[in-house]
């Protein structure tokens, strides 16, 4: 794989055009740029914009975008208790990223570990993991998350747990199937014959081949984790009120949709664009790694 | 770990109910086709602000607005209160207190039957009353020490160990059920003597009623009456505007202006006995000291909160009970002064770091108010955690004192302070962990005299103690807004937010 990469990029003359053509499409970079902007906003936005989710200013409620308030200009308007919508969008981005990345990391670690072990060992471990996957797949992920978040006290960790419980299944299935085919390759046989231990074989000779596909899947899972978090918050489950999230902001504006659309619309747009961009990147990664593996 | 009922499911159920209701409710009822000038019946769909969780008017939900609403359609009271000190006989034809108002004799109306055809007898009244007492629900707090007896078929005698002049006000939220109410499962398909009978009931979602042909005051003209629960305010307003729902009330102020601009809808506000009541749990160590409670009250700028959030229906309160209630006495308003509040908390040794005040409420329309109050308290360093609970959980926790601060829009049954101050603030009731023997004495005395002027004076003293001890914060008097479609005729808005529908008709236009 690595060698073919080098060959492709270094190939001069006639071999170059397909690669160049891909790079010449400036539109292709847009999702990356947008995600970059979000990451930047989530990372440094909270340092630039001061916002306290508990503090309200009822006399400045439901102001349209661009109105002057006591503490500056509300560029995206204010909500039903006078909180700045722009600040909610920025702080919500941070919450979404923290939860999304945490969920994907947890799912990824659990899923890849279980999937690789199941796929490599076969037999009882495989049966146990596969049946667990089957059971979890029988439930819609969001339903499981709602049940778990509904039963436990609110908190960010609860949301992460609730979304991870069903989220690792995808990683496990992917890792298991790739492991099962990689296990039959010559270099794995060679390692086995040389007496390399099982864990070492897994780590050295199999897991590296999972990386590409797992990254592609992780990107798609990130989008769905962000979306699920917003759904939970929208339903009033999971996050406590003092943590800003897009889902809560959208839910808070429902009553005022006809008069104060900006409360719902701006967090909604922020969420939509982010999820679409992550999805586009994920699709591209999937295409690339699936093709290469074949 | 707390197991909470999931609001989302209720919301989903509500949405489903809405869809079903939309399909079932025919706003184009056949009466209009015939073009008759006589408004004949029609199907009325009503969506109140509080879901009906329980049809049992005797138990833990007995004073819950949803249960009261259903009970007024299905069951009958002995007397109905029409305003401060005004009563009208329902099941009771006449009533008579003895000299010191400790023995009340009611004569039942002749010929009133339950919907299964059995006559309403004095034994049913006594059985219902005993059931209320045995249930120890919020209503039972009105009737401490009472006994009921039935000397003959049509006479009921209520005897109190102490004189109780406010008995009529209290008994106006008491509903008579058949003796079978004690049986398991009775309230799945209850039998009553009210204007309507239950067709089907889904707790928290829909209550489908049909007129009771044997109703003593004449069968209601409506063909059917349906109570729906639409938890989402925006959805409720849309349902009203599209005609899926014919009557609603307790709309948020933000929506009233929009409804006013719709020519198909009539909007009317009526003064109500309701007061925004924020009890502070005096049995919580942090809130034991009345100086702390006063300071917390002082720290909230209720005037601007009310002015911004409730421009249509709110006025700053100056008493724990509303001016529409017998026994109202204005108190010295609490001035907003965060510095003084902070100083008082410091002086009382309030532990800012480790105190989290759990503030429970159950209605989504309180959210903005709650957020605003939480913000003001956070400003002086007090942490309040708002907890929005499902109505049933809220009620259970309320009685169990499983909260530090509570928010309710508290009405006064029968427009008499006895059912509010007299019922809730005694040591025995223990509804907010507050116990003051002096207050107990005043309330007992007020309950035992039949002289109205003296009672007013005593309730004024009680109000003063409650107000100055800051048993709770009393920020706002509430006007009750109603909205109904112009096709609805004969609808009477009532001050307490629990309307009757037996004289309503819907003309299909």
Tell me the per-residue pLDDT of B267-315, one tens digit each, with 9 for 90 and over. 998 888 889 999 999 888 888 888 889 999 999 999 989 988 888 888 8
H-state helical runs in B119-252 = 122-135, 167-171, 233-242
Tell me the per-residue pLDDT of A212-225, one tens digit each, with 9 for 90 and over. 889 999 999 999 99
Cα B157 versus chain centre, distance: 27
Q: Give the number of other Cβ atoms within 10 Å of residue B77's Cβ.
A: 22
Percent above pLDDT 70 for chain B: 92
Using an 8 Å Cβ cutoff, are B487 and B43 in contact? Answer: no
Query: pLDDT at position B6, please?
Result: 43
- In angstroms, the CA A62 to CA B312 distance is 16
Q: Quick check: B234 pLDDT over 50? A: yes
Is residue B378 helix, strand or coil?
helix
Distance in Å, alpha carbon of B9 to nearest chain A alpha carbon: 9
- Give bridge partners of residue B326 from the DSSP assignment: B416
CA pseudo-torsion sign B343, B348, B353, B355? negative
| Degrees, nearest 5: CA angle A141-A149-A85 | 95
pLDDT band at B36 (very low <50, low <70, confident <90, very high): very low
pLDDT band at A23 (very low <50, low <70, confident <90, very high): low
Query: pLDDT at position B29, please?
Result: 40
pLDDT band at A107 (very low <50, low <70, confident <90, very high): very high
Using an 8 Å Cβ cutoff, are A271 and A226 in contact? Answer: yes
Class of domain B272-479: alpha beta
> Among the listed ranges A10-24, A57-71, A91-105, which one has the minimum average pLDDT value?
A10-24
Cβ-in-10-Å burial (0-12, 13-18, 19+) of B22 comes to middle
- In angstroms, the CA B281 to CA B296 distance is 13
Return the closest-CA partner of residue B56 out of B71, B46, B72.
B71
For chain A, how many residues are written? 294
Using an 8 Å Cβ cutoff, are B329 and B377 in contact? Answer: no
Q: What is the CA radius of gyration of chain A?
A: 23
Q: Quick check: A273 pLDDT over 90? A: yes
Q: Quick check: A2 pLDDT over 60? A: no
Interface test with A, best of B240, B371, B381, B382 (most A CBs within 10 A): B371
Percent above pLDDT 90 for chain A: 36
Residue B352 φ/ψ, nearest 5 degrees: -65, -35
How much is the average pLDDT of A195-221?
89
- Contact with chain A for residue B261, Cβ under 8 A: no
Q: Quick check: A24 pLDDT over 70? A: no
Place of tokens 């993991």: A129
Q: Give the number of other Cβ atoms within 10 Å of residue A244's Cβ.
A: 25
How much is the average pLDDT of A107-114?
94
Using an 8 Å Cβ cutoff, are B21 and B244 in contact? Answer: yes
Closest Cβ–Cβ partner in A81, A152, A254 for B234: A254
Using an 8 Å Cβ cutoff, are A110 and A161 in contact? Answer: no
A150–B4: do the CB atoms touch at under 8 Å?
A: yes
Cβ-in-10-Å burial (0-12, 13-18, 19+) of B451 comes to exposed
Q: Quick check: B26 pLDDT over 60? A: no
B375–A55: do the CB atoms touch at under 8 Å?
A: yes
Chain B residues closer than 8 Å to A56 by CB: 371-372, 374-375
Query: pLDDT at position B38, please?
Result: 41
- In angstroms, the CA B287 to CA A172 distance is 52
Using an 8 Å Cβ cutoff, are B225 and B46 in contact? Answer: yes
Q: Give the number of other Cβ atoms within 10 Å of residue A93's Cβ.
A: 27
Between these two residues, A235 and B141, which has the higher pLDDT value? A235
Q: Between chain A and chain B, how many beta carbons pairs sit less than 8 Å apart?
A: 72
Q: Quick check: A269 pLDDT over 90? A: yes
Using an 8 Å Cβ cutoff, are B501 and B225 in contact? Answer: yes
Q: Give the number of other Cβ atoms within 10 Å of residue A259's Cβ.
A: 13
> Among the listed ranges A226-240, B13-27, B396-410, which one has the minimum average pLDDT value?
B13-27
Interface test with B, best of A62, A79, A81 (most B CBs within 10 A): A81
Query: pLDDT at position B54, please?
Result: 86
A164 token code pair = 């991870």
- In angstroms, the CA A172 to CA A183 distance is 16
Strands B247-249 and B43-48: parallel
Return the closest-CA partner of residue B127 out of B196, B83, B174.
B174
Place of tokens 């941070």: A94
B268 token code pair = 């009317």
pLDDT band at B446 (very low <50, low <70, confident <90, very high): confident
Using an 8 Å Cβ cutoff, are B204 and B180 in contact? Answer: no
> Among the listed ranges A19-23, B350-354, B357-361, which one has the minimum average pLDDT value?
A19-23
- In angstroms, the CA B419 to CA A277 distance is 60
- In angstroms, the CA A47 to CA A50 distance is 7
- In angstroms, the CA A88 to CA A241 distance is 12
- Give bridge partners of residue B406 from the DSSP assignment: B360
Using an 8 Å Cβ cutoff, are B89 and B82 in contact? Answer: no
Domain definitions of chain B by residue range? 43-246+487-506, 272-479
> Furthest-apart CA pair in chain A: how many Å?
77
Using an 8 Å Cβ cutoff, are B223 and B248 in contact? Answer: no
B386–A241: do the CB atoms touch at under 8 Å?
A: yes
Residues on chain A bordering chain B, Cβ-to-Cβ distance under 8 angstroms? 52, 54-59, 61-62, 80-82, 146-147, 150-153, 235-237, 240-241, 252, 254-259
How much is the average pLDDT of B428-447?
87
Which numeric CATH code is attached to B43-246+487-506? Answer: 3.40.190.10
Chain B residues closer than 8 Å to A238 by CB: none
CA dihedral B379, B381, B382, B383 (to 10 degrees): 90
- Contact with chain A for residue B298, Cβ under 8 A: no
Chain B residues closer than 8 Å to A258 by CB: 234, 258
Query: pLDDT at position B13, please?
Result: 45
Q: How far apart are the first and last CA of chain A?
A: 11
pLDDT band at A22 (very low <50, low <70, confident <90, very high): low
Cα B451 versus chain centre, distance: 27
- Contact with chain A for residue B260, Cβ under 8 A: no
| Degrees, nearest 5: CA angle A265-B255-B24 | 90
pTM for this structure? 0.70
Cα B21 versus chain centre, distance: 25
Query: pLDDT at position B40, please?
Result: 64
> Among the listed ranges A9-13, A90-94, B419-423, which one has the minimum average pLDDT value?
A9-13
A259–B254: do the CB atoms touch at under 8 Å?
A: yes
How much is the average pLDDT of B235-257?
89
How much is the average pLDDT of B364-368?
83
Tell me the per-residue pLDDT of B449-459, one tens digit each, with 9 for 90 and over. 777 888 889 99
- In angstroms, the CA A236 to CA A250 distance is 11
How much is the average pLDDT of A23-48?
86
CATH architecture designation of domain A86-244+270-293: Orthogonal Bundle (1.10)
Q: Quick check: A6 pLDDT over 70? A: no
B6–A146: do the CB atoms touch at under 8 Å?
A: yes
Tell me the per-residue pLDDT of B195-233, one tens digit each, with 9 for 90 and over. 999 999 998 899 999 999 989 888 898 999 999 998 888
Q: Quick check: B17 pLDDT over 60? A: no
Q: Give the number of other Cβ atoms within 10 Å of residue B453's Cβ.
A: 8
Is residue B477 helix, strand or coil?
strand
Q: Quick check: B369 pLDDT over 80? A: yes
Instruction: Write the DSSP symbol of residue B419.
Output: I
Query: pLDDT at position A93, please?
Result: 92
> Among the listed ranges B9-23, B257-271, B369-383, which one has the minimum average pLDDT value?
B9-23
């Amino acid at each position: 794989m690595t060698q073919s990469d080098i060959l492709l990029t270094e190939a001069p003359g006639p071999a170059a055009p397909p690669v160049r053509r891909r790079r010449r499409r400036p539109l292709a970079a847009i999702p990356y740029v947008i995600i970059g902007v979000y990451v930047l906003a989530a990372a440094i936005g909270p340092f630039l914009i001061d916002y306290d989710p508990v503090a309200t200013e009822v006399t400045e409620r439901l102001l349209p975008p661009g109105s002057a308030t006591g503490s500056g200009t509300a560029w995206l308007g204010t909500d039903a208790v006078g909180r700045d919508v722009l600040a909610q969008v920025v702080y919500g981005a941070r919450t979404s990223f923290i939860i999304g990345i945490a969920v994907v990391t947890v799912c990824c670690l659990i899923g890849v570990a279980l999937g690789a072990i199941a796929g490599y060992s076969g037999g009882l471990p495989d049966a146990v993991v596969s049946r667990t996957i089957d059971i979890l797949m029988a439930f819609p992920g969001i339903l499981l998350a709602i049940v778990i978040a509904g039963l436990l006290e609110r908190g960010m960790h609860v949301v992460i747990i609730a979304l991870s419980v069903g989220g690792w299944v995808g990683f496990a299935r992917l890792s298991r199937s790739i492991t099962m085919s990689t296990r039959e390759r010559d270099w794995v046989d060679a390692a086995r014959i040389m007496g390399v231990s099982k864990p070492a074989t897994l780590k050295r000779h199999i897991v590296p081949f999972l990386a590409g596909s797992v990254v592609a899947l992780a990107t798609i899972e990130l989008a769905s984790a962000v979306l699920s978090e917003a759904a939970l918050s929208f339903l009033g489950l999971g996050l406590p009120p003092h943590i800003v999230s897009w889902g809560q902001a959208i839910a808070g504006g429902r009553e005022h949709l006809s008069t104060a659309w900006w409360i719902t619309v701006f967090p909604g747009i922020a969420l939509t664009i982010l999820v679409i961009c992550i999805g586009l990147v994920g699709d591209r990664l999937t295409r690339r790694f699936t093709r290469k593996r074949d | 770990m707390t197991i909470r009922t999931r609001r989302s499911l209720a919301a989903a159920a509500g949405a489903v109910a809405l869809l079903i209701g939309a399909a079932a409710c025919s706003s184009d009822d056949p009466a209009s086709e015939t073009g008759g000038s006589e408004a004949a019946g029609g199907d009325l769909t009503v969506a109140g602000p509080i879901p009906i969780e329980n049809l049992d008017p005797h138990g833990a939900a007995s004073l819950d607005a949803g249960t009261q609403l259903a009970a007024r359609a299905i069951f009958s009271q002995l007397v109905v209160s029409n305003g401060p000190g005004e009563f009208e006989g329902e099941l009771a034809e006449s009533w008579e207190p003895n000299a010191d108002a400790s023995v009340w004799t009611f004569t039942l109306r002749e010929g009133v039957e339950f919907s299964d055809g059995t006559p309403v007898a004095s034994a049913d009244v006594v059985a219902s009353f005993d059931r209320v007492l045995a249930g120890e629900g919020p209503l039972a707090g009105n009737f401490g020490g009472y006994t009921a007896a039935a000397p003959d078929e049509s006479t009921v005698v209520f005897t109190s160990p102490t004189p109780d002049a406010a008995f009529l006000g209290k008994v106006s939220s008491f509903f008579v059920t058949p003796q079978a109410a004690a049986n398991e499962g009775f309230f799945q398909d209850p039998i009553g003597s009210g204007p309507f009978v239950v067709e089907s009931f889904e707790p928290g979602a829909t209550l489908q009623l049909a007129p009771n042909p044997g109703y003593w005051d004449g069968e209601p003209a409506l063909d059917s009456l349906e109570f729906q629960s639409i938890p989402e305010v925006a959805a409720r307003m849309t349902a009203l505007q599209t005609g899926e729902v014919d009557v609603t009330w307790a709309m948020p102020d933000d929506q009233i202006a929009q409804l006013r601009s719709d020519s198909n809808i009539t909007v009317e506000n009526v003064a109500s006995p309701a007061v925004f009541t924020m009890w502070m749990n005096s049995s919580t160590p942090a809130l034991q000291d009345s100086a702390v409670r006063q300071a917390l009250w002082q720290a909230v700028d209720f005037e601007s909160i009310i002015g911004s959030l409730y421009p249509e229906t709110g006025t700053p309160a100056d008493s724990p009970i509303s001016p529409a209630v017998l026994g109202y006495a204005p108190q010295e308003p609490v001035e907003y002064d965060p510095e003084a509040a902070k100083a008082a908390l410091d002086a009382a040794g309030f532990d800012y770091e480790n105190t989290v005040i759990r503030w429970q409420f159950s209605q989504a329309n309180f959210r903005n108010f709650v957020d605003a109050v939480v913000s003001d308290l956070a400003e002086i360093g007090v942490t309040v955690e708002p907890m929005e609970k499902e109505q049933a959980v809220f009620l259970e926790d309320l009685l169990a004192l499983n909260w530090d601060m509570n928010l309710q829009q508290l009405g006064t049954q029968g427009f008499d302070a006895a059912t509010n101050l007299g019922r809730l603030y005694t040591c025995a009731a223990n509804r907010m962990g507050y116990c003051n023997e002096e207050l107990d004495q005043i309330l007992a005395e007020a309950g035992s005299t039949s002289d109205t002027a003296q009672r007013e004076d005593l309730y004024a003293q009680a109000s003063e103690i409650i107000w100055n001890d800051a048993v709770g914060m009393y920020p706002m008097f509430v006007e009750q807004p109603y909205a109904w479609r112009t096709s609805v005729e004969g609808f009477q808005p009532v001050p307490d937010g629990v309307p009757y529908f037996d004289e309503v008709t819907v003309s299909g236009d």
